[in-house]
Amino acid sequence: MKIIVLDGLAANPGDLSWEALHKLGECTVHDRTTPEELIQRATGADALLTNKTVLTEAHMEQLPTLKYIGVLATGYNVVDIAAARRRGIVVTNIPAYSTASVAQMVFAHLLHITQRVGHYARENARGRWTACSDFCYWDTPLIELAGKRMGIVGLGNTGMATARIALAFGMEVVAYTSKPASGLPAGITPCPMDELFRTADVVSLHCPLTDDTLGLVNAARLALMKPSAILINTGRGPLVNEADLAEALNQKRLWAAGLDVLSQEPPRADNPLLTARNCFTTPHIAWATVEARTRLMQVAVENLRQYVAGTPVNNVAQ
């Protein structure tokens, strides 16, 4: 079997091993593949593994030996699934590998906003505490999470993990979810979308990106939120209308935002959220802990092994 990894650098920048994949066939790993390089590199491949390299119907038409596409992520919108299905190409994804890591990033952002540890550490390194007349100082609001209302949009694996952490912090948790109230764990209350935005002290986005959720957080929904509220997005960048969010932050109609995703990645230099007031961005790294990437690599290999054995799993092209 000829196996080509089109863009393996993000999942494995060198701290993990592809050895298990090499045992399944003749395997070549590329750090990145441009659209212009794709056909030349993929010609003759039985299996392609991709993270963000797009595979279209036109590509598949030029790759007659292709039988398997393994997406090195949970989301699989980089592959034309309908075209793969028509050609009998199995497409697999890797669900739930980063649940704990992404939920952890939600609270990394939230604690950064409420406690500003990095700010004070930098100030102290500059000598501010040693020059202080008192035993302590602070120049930002310090906010306790206990008793605050956490609104979670989407109660899949990551939304549920986030809810559990919020409950451990003593937060009140409400959620917009399709799950029936009778099926929710104790402490999580279902809530209509607009009421969630209106009443929550923190809103955390965990819903999939669909036609219905594109631009979910827009000027109208931001207008519902408390001026003291915090928005966290570790889900998908296009859930948020970025111009509307930047305006709300800059006009102090929203206290802060913590974002691990943007609508275009890497972002344009003129993205308004990069310079918006109290907007803190990380470069889409919630999934990238060594533990999560280790699970990703293991499942990627197991997906291909199961396909070779004739019992494909995680097949999103069925």
Domain that holds residue 16: 2-97+290-308
CA distance 133 to 281: 34
CA distance 223 to 7: 41
The two tokens of residue 209 are: 């990106």
125 with 194, same domain: the answer is yes
Give tens-digit pLDDT for 132-172.
Answer: 999 999 999 999 999 999 999 999 999 999 999 999 999 99
Give tens-digit pLDDT for 266-282.
Answer: 999 999 999 999 999 99
List the catalytic residues: 236, 265, 284
Per the structure, the count of domains in the chain is 2
Please indicate, yes or no, if residue 107 is contained in any of the structural domains. Answer: yes
Residue segments in the chain with a per-residue pLDDT below the cut of 50: none
30 with 115, same domain: the answer is no
217 with 266, same domain: the answer is yes
9 with 73, same domain: the answer is yes
111 with 35, same domain: the answer is no
246 with 236, same domain: the answer is yes
Selection from 291, 239, 248 nearest residue 103 by Cα: 291
Give tens-digit pLDDT for 22-50.
Answer: 999 999 999 999 999 999 999 999 999 99
CATH of the domain at 93: 3.40.50.720
Residue 267's pLDDT is what? 97
139 with 246, same domain: the answer is yes
19 with 33, same domain: the answer is yes
Q: Tell the residue number behind the tokens 């396909």, with chain if given.
A: 307
